[in-house]
Structure 1
């Protein structure tokens, strides 16, 4: 009898831990990676069909960092998502667009990644805008009826147009310069609250 009760308890606990998220129609969310950088971010995601959702995040960082560093930006990145099982749960793929404005500089680094020299941020400031698109793959872990943990990686393209300034003197070095970026366009470790 004791073994039977233990088995029943395990079955009840496991059944209680399996949640369906497809009944949910709407989510509010935040990306913990942006939170870690001090960037205010907020997103909404809404159901469009049984396996389709539309994710609409926005990010804003409008202040100077410590030691005179600057990483001001606004970014929005709408994404249509197709879920392989139920929406808001499990594997998904997405196609996203992105638009943003930025004013960044005085960031000391030696990163040269996929043809983009981020080391140029050390002695310069770049002010401009970007526009692009990409594809993503992700997975949503259902934590409870209303809470999800979401992971996503996206790759794509961004066209960037900017003015370049010398950091120390603020003299304009280039006007209407541009850069074509190919690489990671979305990285998300997010928490969602579902309605």
Structure 2
């Protein structure tokens, strides 16, 4: 009787796994977030569909640039995300759980926004990490090309030091918890089969 139960459970597990795991190849895509490119930040993502309704995405961006004498927007960021697709992987609606982590060195900007006015005379250097949930939609526009929209909210922990633009001397430090948008993208996607 014990062997019969083991054989039955093995057959059931194999049948269930065949429903979950694709039997004909896996899909891999590469993508770039177009609005993020507009901030002069090169970025790339890869996504692997490992089951009919599940995929894993890893996206990153890196901006090493200075703008003029004082303005900086230097940063790097990485977003890993596990996605559940309601129809099939890499097509239609999805829900995700993502992480976010990165470092930054920004400042010397006169943006005319009251809340960001301190960036005119100050550099802020630090790191952030957090997690959130997301929703998105992938619209296949041609055989291998897709446009994908993603929005996510969550929380992040930010730790930073501040420096004077004029002297370069450290003039403060801080830690904050942030709650709000943690991911947003309009990506052009190319499928590799």
The answer for the alignment partner of 1:19 in structure 2 is none
Matches of 1:111 and 1:181 in 2, distance apart?
Answer: 19
Give the alignment's Cα RMSD to 1 decimal: 1.7
Aligned-residue offset at 1:119:
3.1
The CA deviation at 1:122 is: 2.2
After TM superposition, list the pairs within 5 Å mapping 1:19-38 onto structure 2: 25-38=27-40
8 Å Cα contact 1:24-1:194 kept in structure 2: no
TM-score, length-scaled by structure 1: 0.81
1:70-120 per-position Cα deviation (integer Å, ceiling 9, x unaligned):
0100100101111110111111111100110110001223547xxxx4333
Q: Does 1:105 align with 2:102?
A: no
Question: SS of 2:66's equivalent?
Answer: coil
Aligned-pair CA distance for 1:140: 0.6
**How many residues align structurally?**
169
Q: Is the 8 A contact 1:166 1:172 kept in 2?
A: yes
Matched, 1:78 2:75: no
**1:188 corresponds to which residue?**
185
Contact 2:26–2:50 (8 Å) recurs in 1: no
Give matches, 1:121-160, under 5 Å: 121-160=119-158
The residue that corresponds to 2:160 in the other structure is: 162
Q: How far off its partner does 1:171 sit?
A: 1.3
Task: Return the TM-score normalized by structure 2.
Answer: 0.82
Assess if the C-alpha contact under 8 Å between 1:54 and 1:78 holds in 2: yes
Please state if 1:178 is matched with 2:180: no
Moved over 6 A (4+): none
Match of 2:16 in 1: none
**2:95 corresponds to:** 93
Question: Which whole-Å CA distance do the structure 1 matches of 2:189 and 2:61 have between them?
Answer: 16
Query: Where does the alignment leave 5 or more consecutive residues of structure 2 unmatched?
Result: 1-23
Match of 2:21 in 1: none
Q: CA 1:139/1:194 → structure 2, altered by over 3 Å: closer, same or farther?
A: same
- Once residues 188 and 23 of structure 1 are traced to their aligned partners in structure 2, the CA distance between those partners, rounded to angstroms, is 27
